[in-house]
Structure 1
């Protein structure tokens, strides 16, 4: 047992969402919403269990994820991520992108150069709404992977149905009179479904900082929902011990939800966008083979972003004379431009 002088390791809260959509019990709704907001204030990360997505759907989503990354490189490159940072869709090959921390206060051209000194050993495939003409999807041809597009479109909108309820819960937990205040800022068409494959790499390269799986960063969306396989490796910064990271261990079928920078700004820092990273799996599963190769890892984050014209400004219940707004209003499109130019 730790002594009284030892720091207490931060725990990731768990919120049960089993009855959220099927009850008219306002006390239950408020209690669940307050649990969610408390987790987002103190940790910034929370497990959502007993949500509406069936296990069979999640299993199929991971099956498709493995199938697309098992394709030959020439097939994956039939849906390449477009050049530059403006469109964030299609296949990103290892080394193309670099996860970032929050925007530096100045000289981010120099920051971009420094970020790329250590590459991220991962590949990704990004999907959005087919109705978003500003971010056109780059689909793998149906003859290469029949059924992939149809499933992913359906899965995208199933995730959004849960996302709407999470935004509604946050609004209730923050005491907003209009519980759909945040939902109205998000149509769902500016979200991003990301399929991720972390490649096996020599453990020594990670240990000596020659490569990274996904460096410490914050998300720049409103909320992120994450589905992860059983590999492990996701870590979140312990707010009581800056620079120390703790594992976000996989829980079967749970959604890991975390606050993004947009919602931290909206809430005037009341909600916490916490730095997180992907490192090596837990010790028991860390290595495979004589070259100490790390296990490959698959995960599926779903980023919920406001519509481009939505203005991110402090919401009414999060400002007062004693606690004035810390951020100037900015549209999602303007903020997205700053963050995406750092990544690509």
Structure 2
């Protein structure tokens, strides 16, 4: 039962002082930061060392840090990623403006098809869960839908599946901003996949041709203010605990200052807060990358819970609005995901049969939304 929890937020080893230290002149002086008393760690990794490296051994050092973290927790905070703060702030501002549009205007852009995976998703339509059973998901959605709305954006040059854009007069510069950001995130994805390849002792360019089609999903997320009485229904959460919603290679998550992300320690199943750290991106392993690596890299359960609420009466409180932006990185839809050559283990066995990327992702989307 996924109830919102303030205890887990308070248990975080972070403090305002430590957050300031991470963004101060010492420039990520702490190599790792604990998110729970059990010693579960999500490291802060300075990716500038990889981006500016002059030699392969220099790149390999950072790559090994990343892959080690993905083996242990499945999550990292990426600092020195090269995306300007002003760019991210502008995307957040344009996203907020979109969600403030009248429901009538947003509804004209409604998400319709899992193969397209583009358009506006109203509060309650999606229910993220580990289940792959469409009927079970439908029952969960009816009982306790995820309390959020989103806007889904794919590559804009697709000849079959078209993005759904608001009128320029309703959302000035929205389309241009999101398309530019989509390309920026793809470029970062390529670099991260190169680091993963090196960390797995593959050729640096191993994944390049397997992610070049940019079959990704840019998701703008808005969590409206909500009273606690709504959230404490059985099974209700801001977004359900999940790993399979992150279907692809990795996810780039941009958080606002409100927080609410929790990550499960895979060793004892305890959830721990992963608060926003200035100038970093949260990156986690997706299901297909985990499958590709024969589970050497972890696709870890995570969820979004309600942040601390404000009292509005003797019997009721309300949580603040929250925004986030997720860039779900995928292999090319034509790519066959099969066990990587050096991840089969000592017995040479693959845990999973090969699977086509498009078939897997479209199947998961169909179950999640329908």
**Shorter-chain TM-score above 0.5:** yes
What RMSD in Å do the two structures reach over aligned CA positions? 1.7
Aligned residues: 329
User: Which residue is 1:201 aligned to?
Assistant: 226
Structure 1 residue matching 2:45: 3-state secondary structure: strand
Could you tell me how far apart the structure 2 residues matched to 1:288 and 1:127 are?
Answer: 36
Asked if 1:237 is matched to 2:264, the reply is yes
Q: TM-score, normalised to structure 1's length?
A: 0.91
Could you tell me how far apart the structure 2 residues matched to 1:9 and 1:33 are?
Answer: 22
Asked if 1:90 is matched to 2:119, the reply is yes
Equivalent of residue 77 in structure 1, options 89, 107, 129: 107
Structure 1 residue matching 2:194: 3-state secondary structure: helix
Structure 2 residue matching 1:216: 3-state secondary structure: strand
Asked if 1:226 is matched to 2:249, the reply is no
Runs of 4+ in structure 1 over 6 Å off = none
Could you tell me how far apart the structure 2 residues matched to 1:157 and 1:188 are?
Answer: 11
Equivalent of residue 302 in structure 2, options 258, 264, 276: 276
Say whether the 8 Å CA contact 1:203–1:287 is kept in structure 2.
Answer: no
- Deviation, 1:145, is 1.2
Equivalent of residue 36 in structure 1, options 66, 69, 73: 66
Could you tell me how far apart the structure 2 residues matched to 1:221 and 1:79 are?
Answer: 25
Asked if 1:101 is matched to 2:127, the reply is no
Could you tell me how far apart the structure 2 residues matched to 1:128 and 1:202 are?
Answer: 33
Say whether the 8 Å CA contact 1:85–1:343 is kept in structure 2.
Answer: no
- Deviation, 1:320, is 4.3
User: Which residue is 2:328 aligned to?
Assistant: 303
Matches within 5 A, 1:1-344: 8-82=38-112, 84-101=113-130, 103=132, 108-116=133-141, 117-176=143-202, 178-209=203-234, 211-218=236-243, 219-242=246-269, 244-281=270-307, 283=308, 286-287=309-310, 289-290=312-313, 291-344=316-369
Structure 2 residue matching 1:277: 3-state secondary structure: strand
Say whether the 8 Å CA contact 1:9–1:238 is kept in structure 2.
Answer: no
- Deviation, 1:288, is 5.3
Say whether the 8 Å CA contact 2:131–2:137 is kept in structure 1.
Answer: no
Q: TM-score, normalised to structure 2's length?
A: 0.85
Say whether the 8 Å CA contact 1:159–1:302 is kept in structure 2.
Answer: yes
